[in-house]
Amino acid sequence: MILYIVRHGIAVDRTDPNSPPDPERPLTARGVKKTRLAALGLGKFEIKPDPFITSPLIRAVQTAEIFTEALGFPPSRIRSSEHLKPAADPAEFLKELSRLKAKEVICFGHAPHVDTMISQLAGARGVFTSMKKAGVACFECGASLGRWDLLWLVTPKMLRQLAE
What is the model's pLDDT at position 145?
60
The pTM of the full predicted model, rounded to 2 decimals, is: 0.95
Question: For 31-44, what is each residue's pLDDT tens digit?
Answer: 999 999 999 999 99
Q: Using CA atoms, how far apart are residues 131 and 27, in angstroms rounded to an integer?
A: 17
Rounded to whole angstroms, the Cα distance separating 159 from 44 reads 9
Give the per-residue SS3 of 41-106: HHHCCCCCCCCEEECCCHHHHHHHHHHHHHCCCCHHHEEECHHHCCCCCHHHHHHHHHCCCCCEEE
Q: What is the structure's pLDDT at 76?
A: 95
Is the pLDDT assigned to residue 92 strictly greater than 80?
Answer: yes
DSSP string, 105-155: EEEEE-TTHHHHHHHHHHT-SS----PPTT-EEEEEE-SSTT-EEEEEEE-
Give the confidence band of 144 by pLDDT, cuts at 50, 70, 90. low
Q: What is the pLDDT of residue 147?
A: 82
Task: Quote the pLDDT of residue 164.
Answer: 87
Q: For the segment 38-86, what is each residue's pLDDT rounded down to a tens digit? A: 999 999 999 999 899 999 999 999 999 999 999 999 999 999 999 999 9
Helix, strand or coil for residue 17? coil
Arithmetic mean of pLDDT, 114-142: 94
C-alpha span between 104 and 77 (Å, rounded): 12
- In this prediction, residue 143 has a pLDDT band, given cuts at 50, 70 and 90, of low
Domains and CATH numbers, the chain: 2-64+107-163 (3.40.50.1240)
Neighbours of 110 (CB within 10 A): 22
- Rounded to 5 degrees, φ, ψ at 137 are -115, 145
Q: Which residues contact 130 (CB under 8 A, 6 or more apart)?
A: 111, 115
pLDDT of residue 40: 98
Encode burial over 4-31: b for 16+ CB neighbours within 10 A, e otherwise.
Answer: bbbbbbbbbeeeeeeeeeeeebbbbeeb
